[in-house]
Chain A
Amino acid sequence: KQEVTQIPAALSVPEGENLVLNCSFTDSAIYNLQWFRQDPGKGLTSLLLIQSSQREQTSGRLNASLDKSSGRSTLYIAASQPGDSATYLCAVSDSSASKIIFGSGTRLSIRP
């Protein structure tokens, strides 16, 4: 059974710092991995999608990497801003691809 873990559960850093959020999954037979952002009381916004054959994806200040063999992904945020404060969710699509499994998220707070 696929399990997705995100570390740390919460993170607070001063504005301007670069930071890394971690995601690990127990079954390497994934179809793809997607990072989302969720603001309090709101829905999910897709940030980056990495197919299983890819190693990384970049969008603006965000870079996501995928090491499928070791069951790990990282989300790198450069030059953090207070507007980046949110919960970041990692989700993997399993090989049967009938659903995606979410981690419990990292709650990020950027201090001005």
Chain B
Amino acid sequence: NAGVMQNPRHLVRRRGQEARLRCSPMKGHSHVYWYRQLPEEGLKFMVYLQKENIIDESGMPKERFSAEFPKEGPSILRIQQVVRGDSAAYFCASSLRGQGDYGYTFGSGTRLTVV
């Protein structure tokens, strides 16, 4: 069981470029959550997805950010036209069922640096 896999581990982008972060949930998990951790801050919820559906995107900035979890393949968090303030660690978590009945398993994160 490989756990939650996130790639890349580190990503450097120039201002204005696009960043694509990938998350493969644990085998058998169909619920995916994205969190952002700004330097020296706590983890903030961004979006909750099930296969092909966005369930809750209340924490997602209205512009430039989007997320998907297609029927096949990993979940993708996309940030268009990145700015320096987007520099953060982005963590993905998965759960077996909604409500985290068995808790949430987190990946190692993608550390995005915007230069």
Q: How far is the CB of A31 from chain B (nearest CB, A)?
A: 5
Given contacts A34-B104, A93-B100, contact A98 B56 (CB under 8 A): yes
Contact between chains at B108 and A102 (CB < 8 Å):
no
User: A98: nearest residue on chain B (CB-CB)?
Assistant: B56
| B55 in contact (CB, < 8 A) | yes
Question: CA separation between A101 and B44, bound complex, in Å?
Answer: 7
User: A103: nearest residue on chain B (CB-CB)?
Assistant: B42
Question: CA separation between A42 and B7, bound complex, in Å?
Answer: 14
Question: CA separation between A53 and B27, bound complex, in Å?
Answer: 28
Question: Inside 8 A of B100's CB, which chain A residues have their CB?
Answer: 31-32, 34, 93, 97, 100
User: A50: nearest residue on chain B (CB-CB)?
Assistant: B103
Question: CA separation between A99 and B91, bound complex, in Å?
Answer: 13
Interface size on B, residues (CB 8 A): 27
| B109 in contact (CB, < 8 A) | yes
Question: CA separation between A93 and B104, bound complex, in Å?
Answer: 10
| B98 in contact (CB, < 8 A) | yes
Contact between chains at B98 and A104 (CB < 8 Å):
no
Question: CA separation between A88 and B16, bound complex, in Å?
Answer: 35
Encoded as 1 (CB less than 8 Å from any B CB) or 0, chain A from 19 to 57 comes to 000000000000110101000011111100100000000
Contact between chains at B108 and A104 (CB < 8 Å):
no
Encoded as 1 (CB less than 8 Å from any A CB) or 0, chain B from 104 to 115 comes to 111111010000
| B69 in contact (CB, < 8 A) | no
The 8 closest A-B pairs by CB, nearest first: A97-B99, A43-B108, A98-B56, A49-B103, A44-B106, A104-B42, A99-B45, A102-B43
List chain A positions with a Cβ less than 8 A from chain B.
31-32, 34, 36, 41-46, 49, 89, 91, 93, 97-105
A-B contact pairs, 7 of them (CB 8 A): A31-B100, A41-B111, A44-B43, A99-B33, A102-B44, A104-B41, A105-B42
List chain B positions with a Cβ less than 8 A from chain A.
33, 35, 41-45, 48, 55-56, 58-59, 91, 93, 98-109, 111
Given contacts A36-B106, A99-B58, A104-B41, 5 further A-B contacts (CB under 8 A): A31-B100, A43-B107, A44-B93, A45-B106, A100-B104
